[in-house]
Structure 1
Amino acid sequence: MEYIPGKSGTQLLEATSEPTEREAVYRQMALGIQELLRIPIPPNPRPTAIDGGLIRHIIFEQQEAPRPYQSVDQLEQHFNLFLQWTKREPKILGLSREPMVFCHSDAWPGNFIINKQGHVTVVDFSEVSILPSSFAKYAITPSVKDHEYSLLPWIDVPSTDGVDNTRALFAATNPMIMGAGSFAKAGKRIPGYDRIPSPIPPVS
């Protein structure tokens, strides 16, 4: 643990009702997420938490994936099988073509420390995973994180032209909430369920 000077976004929001000051806090949060998205990803990554464990993301029950994945294709197959079972559209297409990013799945004001100079520090990296960029866009979309200001217009999420699976992830949301057990069951049908994941390379 390391002491970080400043106040959390939550503390700053609790201390003011001035709209411009409150908006400034959310803009600083967006800046922190933007910088996280700019960090280079090691070559040939697999979807994983940054410690090499199960993916941490708000879309999953208790924010943790029910299985490991050796590749993005396995993750796509898992979601599409679940979408097929629950008769939801659209399906995920070209997930492996999306840029892989460091995705913070908990854009809560308490996870951002802002000092007097306006510098922001992102904390709680236990909720960060290496994922295709649609998962990052999902995590900051207002209907998931219902802030008074949407972070989405202030963040440039990396993307590939013609590929955006955010809508498909949202299509899985309600059936995921109602039937997380079915999602876990679908995951057992996808190859690689019992394989021990290879370690992720260190981030330089």
Structure 2
Amino acid sequence: MATHTNTIARQFAQDLNIQEFREFLKRQKYLDNNECKRTGFAYPEDNPLVWIKFGEGSDIVPEARTHRYAFRMLQQVPEEQRRNIYIPEVYRCITYLERAYMVMEYVRGRTMADLKCDTAFRAAFTAAGGQPHLDMLDRAIKLLLSFPVPENAAPGPYGGGLIRHPMFPSSRAWMRYYSVEELENHFNQTLGPRASLVPKITLERELHLVPGDLHDSNFMFTEAGDLYIIDFGQTCFLPLSLMTYAMREPTKWIASMLGEKLKDFPLPEKNQISLEQVSCVFGPY
């Protein structure tokens, strides 16, 4: 049930004048010749009601669709299963020229990236074996994977589009895939001469909502102990092998702290060596 604050914020978002916050961006030097210096800001500055994430429309619009879908699906999960796990509500997505602005619920909290830089938190986190934070992160990821997939969904964001996932250069596919078979064929073709050295890729036909970017800045904890999943830029409908790949990213602290696996949720291993080779052929990030 929406709180009074959410109701006010929702109305505020609907009344927003795009020129108003573009002027704010310029004053804060977040924009320079239409090039973004940052990707989001709290607004209004003195007493924030919303968080505004902005960037290229080709990135923000599909992210907003996926974010809204995940928000709706989480509301349908029984309360005891989603206890203390939240997704901020997206109030509005505004497009202006080639830019897009996603206006969402403002959450007061600290990301895992902020927390792990806090000496006191790190000491308590280590002493408690990472609990309860790791357990909540594990539950949050599994909740996303459990959401029902829309009929006729293809690999990519909700509503269709380019896959965003760390397997691809700059975490963005350069072509759209309309089926798992098409994605699988492209991966195998990409191997080229390496195909004789590694197993053929056989992707799972069932899609899941895969959070490909497990960066610790994408998960926020509040003082009340609630966990918010705050970024869906690289969350797409994908075969589970792509979740396994994301869990093994060496630069992602959360994945390493979870031991590159999920509790009571076996992830497929058979394609990983071959997928790593495909990513190498695709090129650097």
Q: Which residue of 2 aligns with 1:58?
A: 166
Q: Which residue of 2 aligns with 1:75?
A: 183
Tell me whether 1:101 sits opposite 2:208 in the alignment.
yes
Q: Residues 111 and 217 of structure 2 are in contact (CA less than 8 Å); yes or no, is this contact kept in structure 1?
A: yes
Deviations for 1:99-148, whole angstroms, at most 9, x for unmatched residues?
A: 31111111011100112333211111121111011101110125363555
Larger radius of gyration: 2
Q: Which residue of 2 aligns with 1:91?
A: 200
Instruction: Give the AA of the match of 2:212.
Output: S
User: Where do 5+ consecutive residues of structure 2 fail to align?
Assistant: 1-103
Q: Map 1:6-155 onto structure 2 (within 5 A).
A: 6-15=109-118, 16-18=121-123, 19-20=126-127, 23-24=130-131, 25-87=133-195, 88-93=197-202, 95-97=203-205, 99-143=206-250, 145=252, 149-155=257-263
Shift of residue 86 of structure 1? 3.7
User: Where do 5+ consecutive residues of structure 1 fail to align?
Assistant: 181-204
Instruction: Give the AA of the match of 1:124.
Output: D
Identity %: 29
**Compared with structure 1, are the counterparts of its residues 40 and 155 closer, same or farther at alpha carbon in structure 2 (3 Å cutoff)?**
farther
Q: Residues 165 and 212 of structure 2 are in contact (CA less than 8 Å); yes or no, is this contact kept in structure 1?
A: yes
> How much is the aligned-residue C-alpha RMSD, in angstroms?
2.6
Shift of residue 74 of structure 1? 0.4
Q: Residues 154 and 180 of structure 2 are in contact (CA less than 8 Å); yes or no, is this contact kept in structure 1?
A: yes
Q: Which residue of 2 aligns with 1:189?
A: none
More relative contact order in 1 or in 2 (CA 8 Å, sep 6+)?
1
More strand by share: 2
**Compared with structure 1, are the counterparts of its residues 79 and 144 closer, same or farther at alpha carbon in structure 2 (3 Å cutoff)?**
farther
Instruction: Give the AA of the match of 1:131.
Output: L
Q: Residues 137 and 157 of structure 1 are in contact (CA less than 8 Å); yes or no, is this contact kept in structure 2?
A: no
Q: Residues 112 and 220 of structure 2 are in contact (CA less than 8 Å); yes or no, is this contact kept in structure 1?
A: yes
**Partners of 1:41 and 1:20 in 2: how far apart?**
39
**Partners of 2:193 and 2:251 in 1: how far apart?**
23
Q: How many residues align?
A: 175
**TM-score, normalisation: structure 1:** 0.74
**Partners of 2:193 and 2:174 in 1: how far apart?**
17
Deviations for 1:63-88, whole angstroms, at most 9, x for unmatched residues?
A: 00110011110000000001134444
